[in-house]
Amino acid sequence: MSVLPPDLDAAGFAAFLDDLRAVVGPDWVWSSDEDMHAYRDSFSPVWNTEEERHASAAVAPADVEQVSAVVRVARKHRVPLFPISTGKNFGYGGPSPNVNGSVVIDLKRMNRVLEVNEARAFALVEPGVSYFDLYRAIEERGLKLMLDCPDPGWGSPVGNSLERGVGYTMPHFRDHFGAHCGMEVVLPDGEVMRTGMGAMPGAQTWQEYPYGFGPDPSGLFAQGNFGIVTKMGFRLLPLPEYYRTCLITVPKRRDFVKLVEHVNYLNDSGLIGEVEYGSPLRAKMADPQVMALITKAGGVSDAELDAAAEAAGLPCWQVELQFLGPERATYENWTFARDRILGDIPGAQAIEGEHFALPASEHQLDTPQQPWPSAIKRRRSLGVPSLGEWKIVRDDGHIGFFPVLPRDGEAVFEMQRVLGDAMKAFPTLPPFFNALTTPLLWHTHTFQMVFAPSIKHDDPEHNAISHAAMKRCVEVAAEHGWGDYRASPIYQDAVADTYSFNNHALRRFHEQLKDAIDPDGIVAPGRGGIWPRRFRA
Amino acid sequence: MIRRDMLKWGALVPALAGVPGMARAQAGEGLDVLLLDTRFGEGPLDDMGAARVLTFAGDVTKVWYEHLDRAWRQPGFVVGGITGADALFVLETLARQQGRKVVARKALEVAPLAGDIAPVSWVIAPAHPSVLA
Ligand SMILES: Cc1cc2nc3c(=O)[nH]c(=O)nc-3n(C[C@H](O)[C@H](O)[C@H](O)COP(=O)(O)OP(=O)(O)OC[C@H]3O[C@@H](n4cnc5c(N)ncnc54)[C@H](O)[C@@H]3O)c2cc1C
């Protein structure tokens, strides 16, 4: 499926590729169908349809000088580039671009861990460094630092954080963009810029003070298209001494509201790590009566769910808490959490779970011994990269819609009902939003819920349903003030469109900036729903 | 050179898939590592002629992190496997990043696991000039 860059004919494309080869060497430019297969989004719901976005070529520079030179070549030929770090953005577009015919600038060769500083708890890495690479660098040097990784560890701190990806340890580290500190960027004219203290020659604090002086533009490079990031610093968590877990259950549906308030308090006070909300009643979902109840149009009442819980002899909700820190502190934090919640919610119960000193042994990582069926994934909770999570991928992959909602139990009930009702139009999909769907506390201070319908390469009808459901979810959610946090290129315009306050003032501002620094759309035109003049016309 | 290797390993795949008798005993010849996904049965863990056999149960993390990632940083190194298609997807994606590709694959006629995970036999060999032996 060969495509050409916009406004370029075959001869122009060949000349462009020759110029690229002159920069990076002939072995590091690809354009054959076979090679470009790797740059398709294998999780695409529009796989093999007209809507699928294809890159025309890929180029892999070795260093920042080559990145600049590639950008200058692209500028000369007016070819859009699409930067990727490790290109594992599955569920959100994989390595595929917004604009057909874009050239992927694949930064996998820039894979040096430039610095890991134990005493000051930071790392500085290039884009091709994966979480595994950084973990290995820490492990091999025996440094007492903890990573915060996404579920699959093969992505990169740079690519993941530029997508505002998330992890599973302490609140301020789970928000990966929030935990970055300082970046180096190649701008759309090929110029190299550093943010924060990196802008001051001789400063030793690039990874310690993110702002420097004056406006900090680093936010523009996350989910944006204002430059190609070639280095990025990250704050790391000093390896905690101890890990401790517990389970708290509450009996009634409405107890969830108070439970959330307590967990918010614990989270915001820095006393707990990532939490896993759940409902013990999910164990009964195979029972048709329970299923009918939790997917009932208009939602369930408190009385109905309470009756179902009572009949099953189960509490309505549970939360698994995780504590990281000095052993005594984790103990005090756990008893504090227990006393606070049990003292306020009648019928609440607490069970003490596993606890041990860190670093965990392989046995502790691989064989959790919780006295309850646990949703905690041990490796990710302890910042140990893994690929085991791949087992949740079914069919040929999935697409993801993770609406942001208030950290409030009532808001959770409302989203369960509203999106549950809206998704009844797609009865072949699993009921992602039902009366037992619980929120995720991934980002530091907000809830999200999961909608992730699968895709199948050989079933276009199924994919069309997932695709239509996805678009509908975005619309209905926005009507209630719930926005998607991250989207694949085929949905980015629709999602950006929902952030429309004051006649799309935010988008107009982004467009003004884009027109000023990249009117031809050399860097990822369309990413984040931001189109330069050339493509708006 | 690359083409010759591809033909060689391509021919191996049906043998990896075939299992019985002599064919099985020699199936892994020339492989630096043979990976077996024990979700499809423990089986007799002979080496089928491969230099080394590594096993895992669906999750490739350890074999990749402890063995393949290091080996794939050097030129050469041919890996064969009989694994779930899901594990192959992960390995293939990792291999590409390190200049390698699946040069042959064959779906095996064995009942899929729950979740429709089908077994497949395959060979991953160096492809990019930077990692050719
Ligand atoms: C089963 C499963 C579980 C997952 N779990 C998680 C999870 O727990 N947390 C999570 O966050 N994600 C998760 N994901 C999504 C995704 O796999 C990860 O976020 C992954 O880390 C993203 O890929 P990457 O790191 O290779 O980034 P890349 O694909 O390299 O980059 C992502 C995007 O950022 C931009 N970009 C990348 N590099 C640059 C650069 N240098 N300059 C400018 N722009 C750039 C590009 O637009 C690119 O498309 C999951 C996916 C699956 C399938």
Which residue ranges make up each domain of chain B? Answer: 3-131
- Residue A3, domain member (yes or no): no
Q: Do A438 and A416 share a structural domain?
A: yes
Q: Is the distance from CB of B28 to CB of B17 less than 8 angstroms? A: no
Q: Is the distance from CB of A321 to CB of A334 less than 8 angstroms? A: yes
Which is nearest to A474 in space by CA: A415, A536, A527, A401? A401
State in Å: Cα A40 to ligand 1 middle: 14
Q: How far is CA A28 from CA A264, A361, A419, B96, B97, in A?
A: 49, 41, 46, 13, 12
**Lowest-confidence segment of A310-319, A329-338, A486-495, B6-15 by average pLDDT:** B6-15
* Mean pLDDT, residues B117-130 taken together: 92
Question: In A, which residues are within 8 Å of B86 by CB distance?
Answer: 390-391, 393
Question: In A, which residues are within 8 Å of B59 by CB distance?
Answer: 386-388, 390-391
- pTM > 0.90: yes or no: yes
Q: Do A429 and A359 share a structural domain?
A: yes
Question: In A, which residues are within 8 Å of B116 by CB distance?
Answer: 394-395
- Residue A495, domain member (yes or no): no
Which is nearest to A174 in space by CA: A153, A149, A209, A140? A149
Q: Which of A42, A87, A388 sits opposite B61 (nearest CB)?
A: A388
Which is nearest to A224 in space by CA: A536, A537, A509? A509
Give residue-wise pLDDT tens across range A182-198: 999 999 999 999 999 99
Report residue A314's pLDDT band, with 50, 70 and 90 as the boundaries.
very high
- Residue A172, domain member (yes or no): yes
Residue B115 to residue A26: CA distance in whole angstroms:
43
Q: Do A524 and A444 share a structural domain?
A: no
Residue A57 to residue B67: CA distance in whole angstroms:
31
Residue A96 three-state SS: coil
What CATH code is carried by the domain that includes residue A68?
3.30.43.10
Q: Which residues of A are catalytic?
A: 92, 485-486
For tokens 């369309």, the residue is A526
State in Å: Cα A82 to ligand 1 middle: 14
Of A210, A238, A266, which one is at a domain's C-terminal end? A238
Q: Do A41 and A77 share a structural domain?
A: yes
Residue A275 to residue A259: CA distance in whole angstroms:
12
Q: Testing the interface with A: which of B61, B69, B98, B131 to mutate, by most A Cβ within 10 A? A: B61
Report residue A250's pLDDT band, with 50, 70 and 90 as the boundaries.
very high
Q: Which of A86, A108, A391 sits opposite B58 (nearest CB)?
A: A391
Q: How far is CA B94 from CA A38, A148, A276, in A?
A: 11, 21, 30
The 8-class DSSP code of residue B54 comes to: E
Q: Is the distance from CB of A108 to CB of A86 less than 8 angstroms? A: yes
Q: Do A171 and A27 share a structural domain?
A: no
- How far does Cα A232 stand from its chain's mean position? 17
Tokens of A90: 């599955």
Tokens of B24: 């099985």
- Flag whether pLDDT at A126 surpasses 70: yes
Residue A93 to residue A524: CA distance in whole angstroms:
13
Q: Is A414 in the pocket of ligand 1 (CB under 6 A)?
A: no
Q: Do A161 and A147 share a structural domain?
A: yes
Q: Do A347 and A387 share a structural domain?
A: yes
Q: Is the distance from CB of A226 to CB of A513 less than 8 angstroms? A: yes
Tokens of A452: 């992730």
Of A238, A257, A274, which one is at a domain's C-terminal end? A238
- A204 contacts: CB under 8 Å, gap ≥ 6: none
Report residue A329's pLDDT band, with 50, 70 and 90 as the boundaries.
very high
Tokens of B127: 């492809």
Q: Which residue's CA is the closest to the ligand 1 atom numbered 43?
A: A228
Tokens of A441: 């506390």
Q: In degrees, to the nearest 5, what angle opens at C-alpha A522 toward C-alphas A517 and A527?
A: 90
* Mean pLDDT, residues A256-261 taken together: 98
- Residue A137, domain member (yes or no): yes
B130 shares contact with chain A (CB less than 8 Å) = yes
- Flag whether pLDDT at B115 surpasses 70: no
Q: Is A160 in the pocket of ligand 1 (CB under 6 A)?
A: yes
Backbone region of residue A149 per phi and psi (left: phi > 0; alpha: psi in -120 to 50; beta: other values): beta
pLDDT for residue A211: 97
Q: Is A81 in the pocket of ligand 1 (CB under 6 A)?
A: no
Contact A388 B89 (CB under 8 A): no
Q: How many helices (H) and strands (E) does chain B have?
A: 5, 5
Report residue B108's pLDDT band, with 50, 70 and 90 as the boundaries.
confident
- Residue A494, domain member (yes or no): no
Contact A154 B69 (CB under 8 A): no
- How far does Cα A472 stand from its chain's mean position? 21
Q: Is the distance from CB of A176 to CB of A151 less than 8 angstroms? A: no
Which is nearest to A88 in space by CA: A34, A154, A157? A154
Structural domain containing residue A52 = 10-108
Which is nearest to A86 in space by CA: A70, A68, A110? A110
Residue A252 to residue A307: CA distance in whole angstroms:
9
What CATH code is carried by the domain that includes residue A531?
1.10.45.10
Q: Do A142 and A86 share a structural domain?
A: no
Residue A494 CB neighbours (<10 A): 16
State in Å: Cα A166 to ligand 1 middle: 10
Contact A388 B59 (CB under 8 A): yes
State in Å: Cα A93 to ligand 1 middle: 9
* Mean pLDDT, residues A423-452 taken together: 97
Report residue B48's pLDDT band, with 50, 70 and 90 as the boundaries.
low
Which is nearest to A29 in space by CA: A58, A72, A69, A62? A58
Q: Which amino acid is at A50?
A: E
Which is nearest to A96 in space by CA: A37, A59, A41? A41
Q: Do A321 and A269 share a structural domain?
A: yes
What stretches of A281-422 adopt beta strand conformation (E)? 317-325, 349-357, 403-405
- Flag whether pLDDT at A476 surpasses 90: yes
Q: How far is CA A460 from CA A40, A49, A102, A467, in A?
A: 17, 9, 25, 10
Residue A486 to residue B84: CA distance in whole angstroms:
30
The ipTM is: 0.91
Q: Is the distance from CB of A478 to CB of A498 less than 8 angstroms? A: yes
Which is nearest to A196 in space by CA: A175, A174, A173, A219? A219
Q: Do A390 and A309 share a structural domain?
A: yes
Q: Do A57 and A164 share a structural domain?
A: no
Ligand 1: residue of A63, A103, A112, A160 to mutate (most ligand atoms within 8 A of CB) is: A160
Give residue-wise pLDDT tens across range A386-400: 998 776 666 789 999
Mean pLDDT score across all residues of chain A = 97
- Residue A96, domain member (yes or no): yes
- How far does Cα A531 stand from its chain's mean position? 23
- Residue A453, domain member (yes or no): yes
* Mean pLDDT, residues A321-349 taken together: 98
B72 shares contact with chain A (CB less than 8 Å) = no
Which is nearest to A496 in space by CA: A476, A474, A479? A474
How many domains is chain A built from?
A: 4
Residue B92 to residue B86: CA distance in whole angstroms:
10
Report residue A62's pLDDT band, with 50, 70 and 90 as the boundaries.
very high
Question: In B, which residues are within 8 Å of A88 by CB distance?
Answer: 93
Helix (H) or strand (E) holding A264: helix A255-268
Report residue B21's pLDDT band, with 50, 70 and 90 as the boundaries.
very low
Q: Do A129 and A85 share a structural domain?
A: no
